[in-house]
A and B are shown apart, each in its own frame.
Chain A
Amino acid sequence: MNVKKKKADWVSKIPKWAWLLISLVVAIAFWTLLSLGEKTSRAFPPLLEVFSSYTKMAVDRDVFWGDVASSLTSAGIGFLLGFVIGVPVAFLMAWYRPFRFIVEPWIQFVRNIPPLAYVPLVVIAVGVGRTPQIVVICLATFLTICITVFQGVINVDETLIKAARVLGANDTLLFVRVIFPATTPFIITAIRLGISVALTTLIAAESTGATAGLGMRIRALSSSFEVEPMMLYIIVVGIIGMAAEKILKFFERRLTAWQEKREI
């Protein structure tokens, strides 16, 4: 609900896509302004140069799509594993208190350590190659997903559980027909946060001696002071994140249409 409903009316008259366009124009203008400044132009080269560096990376060096594929593979597998482990662990924590009391402190503990800090340990443990990348991303997404889903499960309305019980539900049915559906909005939030964590962990994950990948390339380009392609790669990471978000939104609308939601 918009607080300043009346004053904001002209805002809703402009369609969503137009707002997106305006936002893009503003960003490009801002960027161009920065690219004109003497000092800021070092970090923000003219946009055209950034985009034309695509040819350099994709054609001359022929690494661009390989990097994208490599990163998507690591992030995808890591995320999926983190999800597959995180959701059951979260439910188990909510269902069985001793398990929660033993596991939860450590999840909270590891969660606040930057992944970059434990990357060397992962490399020592599993060696170089794709495995350490997947392990690092899996660990980071697991922690986020687990905590979020757990919050969802313990927030399930007590009276819904009572209502299911008096209608004859046993433990299994209670889980399948009540707790699980009641938790779906949180599971979707967990997926959203998980995707975001998987992408932000890429740089750390690919500092394990990776030979390809967006994160690895950004580091390599930064050490050779190639700002234009580096910017291009940074933008690509952002685009991947937004695309994932859009796809998720699509499913979210279908799965949680029943939710009472505030329009923002």
Chain B
Amino acid sequence: MAGEARDLRKIKVQIKDVEKVYEGRNGRTVALNGVNLDIYDNEFICVVGPSGCGKSTLLNIIAGLHEPTAGEVLVDGVKVEGTGVDRGVVFQQYALFPWLTVKKNVEFGLRIKKLPKEEQEAIAMKYIKMVGLEKFVNAYPKELSGGMKQRVAIARAYAVNPSILLMDEPFGALDAQTRTQLQTELLRTWEEEQKTCFFITHDVEEAILLASRVVVMSARPGRIKEVIDINIPYPRNQETKMLPEFTELKNYIWGMVYKEYLEVQK
């Protein structure tokens, strides 16, 4: 996809000069410094960078869970103030409500929207089916594996039909096999039901596999170092990883992240 062509697309999220400073007991920590990024509608953005580069902080700011110290985030041209159901979030630690069954977890946001009971159920079932957990509708989170829990969390985020999906290392706590499986499922879902995705990961391969653009962040203070177009056409699958351009991108991005990692170590 050529650069000029994309410029014609609608901008979904605008991150403008975002800065985040934490005042702690050990002084000031600049978590984010002058972050600027335009995210296009239905785009899949992956953010990579060493730990402590402010990836999660940025996600929390877009979600409206944190406030930036300076700058602003616009969604559809409107300034983000607090959370909103237009922005769904999937957390690394699943964050399922342990006292609710799979179905009730997925219905959580729909119940808050006060949709009629039958509609809640229909929507919940649709997304539970999407993540392949029909057999576990009435199971409690404690009965599920990590991968299944994260599937429920994804279904729950999808159910309220956000236009933006924010994912904070969603597959970080899973084993390699489950991660591969969930990546493929997420790709398929995103290709079917387009949403703007903002996906944080520390896995460079995962980033290239999923993203239309990969954002590399540098640490201390966190800022965007480079934005790389991933010009591999969708639909993609695990075999995409075997393409020569994939390897090329991987080496390039991994090298950059590694350099940042060494910087942090100093």
List A residues at the B interface (Cβ < 8 Å). Answer: 157, 159-160, 162-169, 173, 177-178, 181-182, 184, 256-260
Contacts and interface: CB of A to CB of B under 8 A. Distances in A.
Interface residues of B, number: 26
B109 A162 contact: no
B224 to A, nearest CB: 24
A259 B98 contact: yes
Q: By DSSP majority rule, is chain A's interface helix, strand, loop, or mixed?
A: helix
A166 B142 contact: no
Nearest to A185: B99
B156 to A, nearest CB: 7
Contacts of A184: 99
A6 B63 CA distance: 50
A172 to B, nearest CB: 11
What 7 A-B pairs are tightest by C-beta distance, nearest first? Answer: A167-B109, A163-B95, A159-B95, A258-B99, A166-B89, A168-B112, A260-B142
Nearest to A180: B99
B63 to A, nearest CB: 6
B262 to A, nearest CB: 31
A181 B105 CA distance: 13
B190 interface: no
A165 B83 contact: yes
B113 A166 contact: no
Given A159-B91, A163-B95, A184-B99, A168 B113 contact: yes
Contacts of B98: 258-260
10 contacts: A159-B95, A163-B89, A163-B96, A166-B63, A166-B64, A167-B108, A167-B109, A168-B83, A169-B112, A258-B98
B85 interface: yes
A57 B109 CA distance: 61
A165 B109 CA distance: 10
Contacts of B93: 159
A162 B113 contact: no
Given A162-B89, A167-B85, A182-B97, 7 more contacts: A159-B91, A160-B95, A163-B89, A165-B83, A166-B85, A184-B99, A258-B100
B65 A258 contact: no
B151 interface: no
